[in-house]
A = this chain, B = another copy of it.
Amino acid sequence: MKHLSKIAENLLGQPMFGLLSRAQDMEREGKKVIHFELGDPNFDSPDHVLEAAKKALDQKLTHYTNSMGLRELREAVANYAERDLGFKPDLNQVLICPANALIDFTARCAADPGEEIILPGPGFPTYYSVIKYNGFVPVPVRLKEENSFRMNPDDIVEKITDKTRLIIMNTPQNPTGSVMTEEEVFKTAEIAEHSDVYLLSDEVYSKIIYGGKNHFSPSLRDKCKERTIVLGSLSKIYSMSGWRLGFAIGPESFIRKMGLLLETIMSCLPAFTQLGGKAALEGDHSFLGKRIQELNERRNLLIGGLNRIKGLSCVMPEGAFYAFCNIKGTGMDSARYCEELLENSGIAAVSGNCFGSFGEGYARFCYASTEKKEIEEALSKMEDFHKKI
């Protein structure tokens, strides 16, 4: 193979997509697979969202748009912030962009190669792959099982050096489902302020919290004017994963730079997907309650069942739709456990080490797209599997 750049050599991609592809191969061979791997809700995008996109197509809104995003959608995001985060940002503080790309753009605008980014360990794989391929230095803060996997602000302080450029926090959290307390969230905001570093608050699961708990955002402290960048997404909350729509709210100067990066790489996003997004943010939200109730039932069923299986133990997650299950009792490492579980029982879960080295000893089970009947079937197959090992 010809010469490739360092970036090309350091690309990891997203491990869940690789696993999905393997699982789909098994299905093509006629094997049944129960999917716990991809964080993609099996609910439909709301009808009013589909209709808005179809209407835009009928109106032939198929030309280039403003690279910062449609004004109407940015206004909808600003109104969302006023309603849910407690402050109304200026439109110049809002950028429309796939959420995954915003992680890449935020990191690349905040840090140069060799500089440090603090992030949760275990944490969303894109944090790790973005840091690795760009040559940044990952500084994971260990999320402790005994603290229900909530990120402890005191552990962040210890990691800050003069090379720190960005802290990434994530609540509700992927892969553990932990939800930070109000005190933890605002203490993290204070730490970012005192250390004078950017703070990326990944809030893509903000409305998926169980037991009536609240979501807290560190953005209230600086109203995204100084250092906080809120990362939002329509993928999980509105079951719009395939629309590739997210948004950032941040300091105007920083958002402008991220907008230029979007303009350079993607030019802009489709108008008809963005108008679907506007319909989601502004439309009826009553469907959400029912969906979260369904997710809650799946959660209780799955975590209860996992904890009854010999060799497994699982903290009850408070948000998102992931169970991060301790598999150390099996004596296997995470990768081998997940591989054998898939090959032997047709159950696809993600190895904990895909979420950074602090994920070793765990496996992530996503219950966003598995019906309760399938969860029961999976638990029964897992019991059989665990008897054999």
A residues contacting B by CB (< 8 A) are 1-8, 11-14, 17, 20-21, 38, 40, 44-45, 50, 53-54, 57-58, 60-67, 98, 100-101, 104, 108-112, 126, 129-130, 133, 165, 196, 198, 226-227, 239-244, 251, 253-254, 257, 259-261, 263-273
Bound CA–CA A100/B261 (angstroms): 12
Q: Assembly of this chain: how many copies?
A: 2
List of B residues within 8 angstroms of A108 by Cβ? 5, 7-8
Q: Is the CB of A50 within 8 A of B44?
A: no
The distance in angstroms between the C-alpha atoms of A245 and B13, with both chains bound, is 21
B273 touches A8 (CB 8 A): no
Contact residue among B62, B67, B196, B265 (Cβ-Cβ distance under 8 Å from A44): B62
| Cα(A2)–Cα(B254), bound, Å | 9
Q: Which residues of B are found within 8 Å of A40, using beta-carbon distances?
A: 63-64
Separation of A196 and B129 alpha carbons in the complex (Å): 30
User: In the complex, what distance in Å separates the CA atom of A7 from the CA atom of B38?
Assistant: 32
Query: Min CB distance, A240 to chain B, in Å?
Result: 6
Q: Select A244's contact among B6, B53, B126, B269, beta carbons within 8 Å.
A: B269
Docked CA distance A269–B273 (Å): 11
Instruction: State whether B112 touches A6 (Cβ < 8 A).
Output: yes
The answer to whether B109 and A5 have CB atoms under 8 Å apart is yes
Q: Are B261 and A11 in contact (CB under 8 A)?
A: yes
Chain B residues within 8 Å of A270, by CB: 242-244, 273
Q: Which residues of B contact A104 (CB under 8 A)?
A: 264-265
Are B11 and A260 touching (Cβ within 8 A)?
yes
Instruction: Name, among A11, A60, A62, A67, the residue most crowded by chain B CB atoms within 10 Å (CB to CB).
Output: A62
List of B residues within 8 angstroms of A60 by Cβ: 44-45, 50
Give chain B nearest CB distance to A235 CB in angstroms.
8
Is A12 a contact of B260 with CB atoms below 8 Å?
yes
Which of A129, A240, A270 counts the most chain B CB atoms within 10 A?
Answer: A270
Complex CA–CA separation, A196 to B3 (angstroms) = 9
How distant is A306 from chain B, measured CB to nearest CB, in Å?
25
Question: If the complex has contacts A44-B62, A60-B44, A198-B2, are A267 and B100 also in contact, measured as CB distance less than 8 A?
Answer: yes
